[in-house]
């Protein structure tokens, strides 16, 4: 499913980005970004997105990332 969203390049991975938005009806939003290798070189990678997937609206983190280490959080304004 995710590969169809990417227009060019070799899909090599992805990045999930979680954020809070006080105007949303749920606790978290998650967007997915595709990481691609540029077809012309092995030294350049592209990031394409954001894409919404089935986990876009969340009230809690999914089980696969609950034990992830959080390196920094932005200050709430």
8 inside domain: yes
Q: Note down pLDDT in tens along the chain; length 77 residues.
A: 344 444 567 888 888 888 887 888 888 888 889 888 877 777 788 888 888 877 788 888 778 787 877 777 667 66
Determine, yes or no, domain membership for 17.
Answer: yes
Number of independent structural domains in the chain = 1
Q: How do 28-37 and 57-58 pair as beta strands?
A: antiparallel
pLDDT for 43 equals: 79
- Find the distance separating the first CA and the last CA of the chain, reported in whole Å: 36
Range of the domain at 47: 2-55
Assess if residue 61 is contained within a domain: no
């Amino acid at each position: 499913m995710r590969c169809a969203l990417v227009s060019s390049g070799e899909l090599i991975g992805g990045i999930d980005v979680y954020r809070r938005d006080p105007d949303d009806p749920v606790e978290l939003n998650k967007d997915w970004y595709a990481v691609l290798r540029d077809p012309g070189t092995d030294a350049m990678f592209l990031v394409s997105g954001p894409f919404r997937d089935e986990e876009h609206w969340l009230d809690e983190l999914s089980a696969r990332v609950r034990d992830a280490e959080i390196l920094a959080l932005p200050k709430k304004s």
